[in-house]
Chains A and B, each alone.
Chain A
Amino acid sequence: MSRKLGALVLAMGILVGAMGIKTVLSSNSKGTVVIANGPAPMPIPR
């Protein structure tokens, strides 16, 4: 049980870290859309 709790705490820590990085990188956001999955061309932004 405690190990599952450990997995939960670790998962939350990773989530907080990831969202922290995203917030830092988008601090000067101008609403740009960047998606990088697959080699297809991105839709034209409006």
Chain B
Amino acid sequence: MPGSIDLIIWFLGTAFELTFVVCSLARKSFLRYFFLNLYLLLSMTVSIGRFFILWSSGQGSDQYMYFYFYSDALLTVALFVALISLYSHVLGELRAGEYVKWGAVFLLLGTAGFSYAVVAQSATRLSTSFAYELSQNLYFVGLVLTYILWGAVLKLRETRTRPVQIILSLGLYFSGYAASYALANFSGKHGIIQYICPALGCFLPLSWSLTMLRYTEESRLVPAQLLAVPR
């Protein structure tokens, strides 16, 4: 079994995920942010499944490792869809929904094709390697997509507080992931990373829940607070 710090982070993260869904329902925003809710509901379900497998088989078991990586690929695809739904929120007024949809499909297929090309040489455990590679590649695609979306928010002078805060949180989440990935690769040490990654998984639903609790759909930001415009 993992240590007490791991378990506290895990339970807190799952509680924050539930908080976001409950807040969305209470604020009557469940359908407006349906794909964010779907991602967090899936994440909660996966957390429960992981807990039972970890409890019965242990953290070092094959069962936990396989379930962890396959469920992670599923969650990453769900997060990708949630991110695309934020594009629809921001670009909704431009009537660019169809092009966003096509772009997302091309990008997902392209990432899957690239991931397959990378792992195709691996004769053993091809599907596991593919799930892991797809998940990692989608993370970096998500990072680039979030920064492009942030550029669109600034360019279009988006003032709705909720989408802005949600996109900023997502940007921090992906940036934190990329930073921990770089740190792990450069240092080769696994010690700190094993806490950073679950903590990041805890941070995202917490920040989204706070956004949902503190602001209504009518809340607006002053555009000058987002970007210092040269005069």
> Are B110 and A37 in touch, CB under 8 angstroms?
no
Q: Mark A20-35, 1 if CB is under 8 A from B, else 0.
A: 0110011111101111
Number of interface residues of B (CB under 8 A): 63
> Are B140 and A19 in touch, CB under 8 angstroms?
yes
The verdict on B150 contacting chain A, using a C-beta distance below 8 Å, is: no
The verdict on B157 contacting chain A, using a C-beta distance below 8 Å, is: no
The verdict on B230 contacting chain A, using a C-beta distance below 8 Å, is: no
A39 nearest CB across to chain B (Å): 3
> Are B140 and A22 in touch, CB under 8 angstroms?
yes
Q: How far is the CA of A32 from the CA of B14 in the complex (A)?
A: 26
> Are B59 and A44 in touch, CB under 8 angstroms?
yes
Instruction: List chain B residues, Cβ under 8 A from A21.
Output: 140, 143-144, 178
The verdict on B126 contacting chain A, using a C-beta distance below 8 Å, is: no
A36 nearest CB across to chain B (Å): 4
Interface SS of chain B: helix
> Are B201 and A38 in touch, CB under 8 angstroms?
yes
Of A12, A22, A35, A40, the residue contacting B106 (CB under 8 A) is A12
The verdict on B130 contacting chain A, using a C-beta distance below 8 Å, is: no
Instruction: List chain A residues, Cβ under 8 A from B190.
Output: 32, 45
Number of interface residues of A (CB under 8 A): 36
Q: How far is the CA of A42 from the CA of B103 in the complex (A)?
A: 32
Of B79, B103, B114, the residue contacting A10 (CB under 8 A) is B103
Interface SS of chain A: loop
Q: Mark B40-57, 1 if CB is under 8 A from A, else 0.
A: 000100110011001000
Of B148, B176, B180, B181, the residue contacting A14 (CB under 8 A) is B148
The verdict on B136 contacting chain A, using a C-beta distance below 8 Å, is: yes
> Are A29 and B185 in touch, CB under 8 angstroms?
yes
Q: Which residue from chain A places its CB closest to the CB of B205 in the assembled complex?
A: A39
Q: How far is the CA of A19 from the CA of B117 in the complex (A)?
A: 13
The verdict on B197 contacting chain A, using a C-beta distance below 8 Å, is: yes
Instruction: List chain A residues, Cβ under 8 A from B51.
Output: 40
Of B12, B106, B148, B193, the residue contacting A39 (CB under 8 A) is B12
Instruction: List chain B residues, Cβ under 8 A from A8.
Output: 102-103, 106
> Are A40 and B102 in touch, CB under 8 angstroms?
no
Instruction: List chain A residues, Cβ under 8 A from B14.
Output: 39
Of B68, B103, B144, B184, the residue contacting A32 (CB under 8 A) is B184
Q: How far is the CA of A32 from the CA of B182 in the complex (A)?
A: 10
7 contacts between A and B (CB under 8 A): A18-B111, A21-B143, A22-B140, A35-B68, A36-B201, A40-B47, A40-B198
* Residues of chain A having any CB pair with chain B under 8 Å: 3-4, 6-8, 10-12, 14-15, 17-19, 21-22, 25-30, 32-46
